[in-house]
Structure 1
Amino acid sequence: MSVAPTAGTAPSSPAVHRPRRSWWRIDRHDVLWLIALTLVAGALRFGSPFFLDIFAHPGSAAPVSAWGIGHNYQDPSLPGLGKPNDIAPNSPFVFDELYFANDAHDDLLGRDYFDPEPPLAKLIIAIGIKLFGFNSFGWRFMPALFGTALIPLMYLLARQLLTVRFFAIAAGVLTAFDGLTFVESRTAVIDIIPITLVVLAYLLFHLHLNADTVARRRWMIVLIGLALGLAISAKWTTLAAYGTIIVILGLRLILRWTRYDGATGGIALLSLALLPAVVYGLSFLRYLTITHGITNLPQPALSFTAFHFNPGAAWTEIAEWHRQTWLYHINLKADHIFYSPWWSWPLDFRPVVYYYTGKGLGIDQTTGSALVAEIFNLGNPLIWWAATFSLVGIAASLPTLIQGYRSRRDLDPAEAERTDLAGPLDQAFIGAWLPLALVPRGLFLYHMLGGLPAMFLALALALTYLRSLRGLMPGLALRLSGTVPAYAYLVMVIGFFLYFYPLWTGLPLTADALNSHVWFAFVKPWPNWCLCYWTSPG
């Protein structure tokens, strides 16, 4: 997301070959952090919810037990919030798993369905179903895998953006312990898949910019086009990242901060203009082998034959799907209890309840109250509020940064890096967020997911700046350092994660404990929202 050349380097074509480790800007300490963050994130995403039996039942043979992502949340009394479906009555779904898990299963079976999202994410979910069966573990496996991969990708991206290791550590911690990324990773809904692919594309883009040989630069631009094509094939909202990369690269070429020879320029043009479209088209290959009611075309063979020998029919199929999808999105008028306006998302308003039940969970042994359980997709408030504040601060300081940019060579290299990063972070966030204001249909908090990488990086940048502060307390011979507050904030983020953990995983709680997470409730004339929590049904 960086526009300017790396501090202290000339904006010329790469010439000197460096070890791959130097190019990726990682050493053994980074490897240890990557392993630790990935293992923690993977354990939380695949193993949650965890029960600390050593505290609840000290005499238990198992001090810790877990349900894991394969747990069958089930309550047939609440349609749409964990309702078993006729297609698979013994396999309950959480929220929109009802659609996406069944769509992925239909892809495996070759059955017709219509979904107004590109096909790739369902095909990826289908891999887990193929490996582990049509059950909750099977359809949640690939989202959990992608959600886990998001953490090391964010760490590696941060290492490319800034040479300060703490920036990468902060970015990894914020991503691992956010509530929305956590819930989306543990549910067979598609959004975590394209966002992970977007972060991969951004990582490849900065590896391209930082490449020290022509061969590396060319390979990276090809891989960028491939990653962007995969992302767009999973969800159209990732076009925002595509546009951000094009704008940043275009500015760098105009300002001659990046220079291509003729061959590299041609490869870049083909990779960014043609390759994503080719990948997007190829993602429909499975779709073309299934008869669809929206076109009533004859049944093709279950192979690529129909695609090769009847290209006119294939084009008609894909064109009709796009027409129907566009009509769906612009004409959808159905009301939904969890719709929220786009401007409210950075403030973490109006989370969506994915699951709720108050039956069959037993009695709390301490209070004697009935237990209830809920899953909702709230972002970690400590992250979201501070990240929003960081982005606003960056936007407010942009005129000063632009005005003083000519003196960049006089800045400390670390300060120059932070200055270079500020503007592109706002650009990436606004590109992912603001276009959704034009969408006529109702939207949900999870549509903010595309802006989260920029939010995490903006907050990590603010914490990195805080960590760099040194000085004396006025009037006292007391030296102050921002290191302790910066690390303390990350510890507080983990504390907030633990506080909301039961409501992100469906851990049974009493109604009083559940309602203790209602921090602010708005009444009319404000919309019926609760900040951080929606009052449970019943």
Structure 2
Amino acid sequence: MGQVTQTSLQQPVEAEPAAPTATTPPGGGRNLEGHRWIARPSEAFTPDALRQRLIGEIQSWRDYPPSLRLWYWLIPALTAAIAGILRFVRLDSPRSLVFDETYYVKDGYSYLISGYERSWPDKANDSFNAGNPGVLLDSPEYVVHPPVGKWMIAAGMWLFGPDNAFGWRFGAALTGTISVFLIALIAQKLFRSLTLGAVAGILLAVDGHHLVMSRTSLLDIFLSFWILAAFGALLMDRDDGRRRLALRLGQRAAASKDGRPSTLQLLSGPWLGVRWWRVAAGVCLGLAVGTKWSALFFLAAFGLLTVFWDLNARRIAGIRGWISGGIIKDGIPAFLGIIPVAAVVYLGTWTGWLLSKDAYYRHWADTHPSGEWGWLPGWARSLAHYHLEAYKFHQGLSSEHPYKASPWTWLVMGRPTSFFYESPKAGTPGCDGPNCTSAVLSVGNPLIWWSAAIAVVILLFWWMGRRDWRAGGILAGITAGYLPWFLYPERTTFFFYAVSFEPFLILALVYCLGLTLGKRTDSLLRRRSGLYFVALFLMCVVLLSAFFYPVWTAEVISYEQWRFRMWMPSWI
């Protein structure tokens, strides 16, 4: 794996190569990893030369040496296996609904029975915890979150039954495990490094915040998954679009007499056709919005990001009208390939509600005048009214809560959410003293989170100073998931919302760890020192996760041991 790390972040001086100019022969500059390369003018517009300029040496897993191709898939699988063990072992503890599971788990069960949310009687939690969920009422229930996450919870209950905690948490645990597999693949794609892919997978696998969210059936782990999947699809689309651009410009150059596209052909560049990876991103983003509306900010940020990537590709390829050509031939297709697709997918997530006869607000339009919206069918006006009422609820959601946490405190974990806490009696298995504790606290691994907070600052300066597209992509994910919450200072917010952009914090940290590995031209001592530092950092992370593991998974420990892990007064 060591040789592959030479193509990661070890030459970030000019991550995007310069476009050909009057003083630079076409094809000259630096490739994706910053390594200087020179192509003869006659070769500058061949497909191979263009791909080298636009993408770099490693374009897919097939470009790795044969001895390392297996590791491209094995590393994500191994990190996911670690994540799965941590998430599935004792998944049914606590054996009762915790925190907001009281809403989403019961809604998931209602979906299994009716396809929409129905009401529950008083003390329904006691019945549910006892393994008797069949006390569902016939009347509909008003809820303010879309259906996707609750359907994913329902899938686990369909497989393993709604009468046990393993069944109602299975969907979250599986989603969290697959997320680790995804981030390892994404890191390998982003940094062109198997080593950094392994680092990203391990960090997300052992972090307590992601672990707790994967062992608790709230909606946010599903939101995080679909956002991460959309980002991965856009990374695939970035390389696919650049390969298409290189191929079509190369074909035009081959058909010309002087071995380069004509001036007219270079004015705006070619159309690139249907971008299926971009469509896949639109599907994932539609499912993300269908989990929580906060995904709309990711939809906007990722849409702009993919267009900026395409504009830069045309600039680097030597297209003179790269701005106008990119907007018309990339920007408009990007809009059509993402926004309408996401909208159709989102609407499809409401199928259970649409097919129902008595879901909440389902027939609101039947008893209300149509007015200027009379041209819309009744179901559409009813659904629009539902969304309007849910939006009003979210806007006015402001109440005191013991675990309310301002976004200002999220990166330093100023107030993590306690999902579960009880004091087992003496004699309980695992309780050897008079005072014992069993708790689930959504606090992350401090070394990961506090290092990631520093890494974000470093990444910001690196992006501004080095023009590295990788830094820009990571920052786009953090910005979309984090900054919008500052627009609602009066709204009640919680730390666990941060799981939506936590994978991008991990990628920011991995980026900075990649910088410590050294350049290809550095001495062997320098490169070994960087590798030893990364290995030492990972070892400390794993040991710290083992230390905090009991308060992430409701293990019974003494009260003194629990207090020993409360490093900040605000964690209590």
Q: Provide the TM-score with structure 2 as the length reference.
A: 0.72
Q: Is the 8 A contact 2:363 2:382 kept in 1?
A: no
Moved more, 258-267 or 487-496: 258-267
Equivalent in 130, 133, 137 of residue 161 of structure 2:
133
Moved more, 31-40 or 154-163: 31-40
- 1:372 aligns to what SS in structure 2? strand
Structure 1 match to 2:276: 219
Q: Is the 8 A contact 1:175 1:456 kept in 2?
A: yes
Q: Partners in 2 of 1:364 and 1:457 — Cα distance?
A: 40
Q: 1:33 to 1:330 in 2, by over 3 A?
A: same
Q: Partners in 1 of 2:514 and 2:274 — Cα distance?
A: 29
- 1:355 aligns to what SS in structure 2? strand
- The residue correspondences of 1:359-438 to structure 2 (distance < 5 A) are 359-360=424-425, 362=427, 368-402=433-467, 419-438=468-487
- 1:94 aligns to what SS in structure 2? coil
Moved more, 108-117 or 34-43: 108-117
Structure 2 match to 1:188: 217
Equivalent in 250, 264, 267 of residue 307 of structure 2:
250
Q: 1:350 to 1:24 in 2, by over 3 A?
A: farther
Q: Partners in 2 of 1:319 and 1:205 — Cα distance?
A: 30
Shift of 1:12: 9.7
Q: Which runs of 5+ in 1 are unaligned?
A: 48-67, 74-91, 300-309, 403-418, 522-529
Q: Which runs of 5+ in 2 are unaligned?
A: 1-11, 18-31, 36-48, 119-139, 246-271, 318-324, 367-374
- The residue correspondences of 1:164-179 to structure 2 (distance < 5 A) are 164-179=193-208
Residues 13-37 of structure 1: CA deviation (Å, up to 9, x unaligned): 9999x99742799711222212211
Shift of 1:280: 0.5
Moved more, 133-142 or 462-471: 462-471
Q: Is the 8 A contact 2:303 2:335 kept in 1?
A: no
Q: Partners in 2 of 1:249 and 1:478 — Cα distance?
A: 36
Structure 1 match to 2:337: 271
Q: Provide the TM-score with structure 1 as the length reference.
A: 0.77
Q: 1:264 to 1:387 in 2, by over 3 A?
A: closer
Q: Is the 8 A contact 2:518 2:527 kept in 1?
A: no
**Residue 156 of structure 2 corresponds to residue 108 of structure 1:** no
Q: Is the 8 A contact 1:295 1:320 kept in 2?
A: no
Structure 1 match to 2:554: 506
Query: Cα RMSD over matched residues?
Result: 3.4
Q: Is the 8 A contact 1:24 1:160 kept in 2?
A: no
Residues 203-248 of structure 1: CA deviation (Å, up to 9, x unaligned): 1111111124589972212211111111111111222322222122
Q: 1:132 to 1:479 in 2, by over 3 A?
A: closer
Shift of 1:267: 5.2
**Residue 343 of structure 2 corresponds to residue 321 of structure 1:** no
Equivalent in 429, 440, 453 of residue 503 of structure 2:
453
Q: Give the counterpart letter for 2:545 in structure 1.
A: F
Structure 1 match to 2:70: 28
- 1:107 aligns to what SS in structure 2? helix
Identity of counterpart residues, as a percentage?
25
Q: Is the 8 A contact 1:179 1:379 kept in 2?
A: yes
Q: Give the counterpart letter for 1:270 in structure 2.
A: L
Structure 1 match to 2:405: 340
Shift of 1:100: 0.1
Shift of 1:468: 1.9
Q: Which has the larger radius of gyration?
A: 2
Q: Give the counterpart letter for 1:443 in structure 2.
A: T
Structure 2 match to 1:415: none
Shift of 1:158: 0.9
Structure 2 match to 1:64: none
Residues 62-89 of structure 1: CA deviation (Å, up to 9, x unaligned): xxxxxx212353xxxxxxxxxxxxxxxx
Q: Partners in 2 of 1:245 and 1:365 — Cα distance?
A: 48
Q: 1:128 to 1:173 in 2, by over 3 A?
A: same
Structure 1 match to 2:99: 95
Q: Partners in 1 of 2:211 and 2:466 — Cα distance?
A: 35
Residues 363-400 of structure 1: CA deviation (Å, up to 9, x unaligned): 68896333220001011111000000011122234443
Q: Partners in 1 of 2:59 and 2:512 — Cα distance?
A: 31
Q: Partners in 1 of 2:55 and 2:434 — Cα distance?
A: 70
Q: 1:262 to 1:400 in 2, by over 3 A?
A: closer
Q: Is the 8 A contact 1:195 1:238 kept in 2?
A: no
Equivalent in 64, 79, 83 of residue 37 of structure 1:
79
Q: Partners in 2 of 1:380 and 1:464 — Cα distance?
A: 20
Q: Is the 8 A contact 2:440 2:551 kept in 1?
A: yes
Q: Is the 8 A contact 1:357 1:373 kept in 2?
A: yes
Q: Partners in 2 of 1:478 and 1:132 — Cα distance?
A: 52
- 1:242 aligns to what SS in structure 2? helix
Q: Is the 8 A contact 2:433 2:558 kept in 1?
A: no
Q: Partners in 2 of 1:456 and 1:15 — Cα distance?
A: 24
Q: 1:100 to 1:24 in 2, by over 3 A?
A: farther
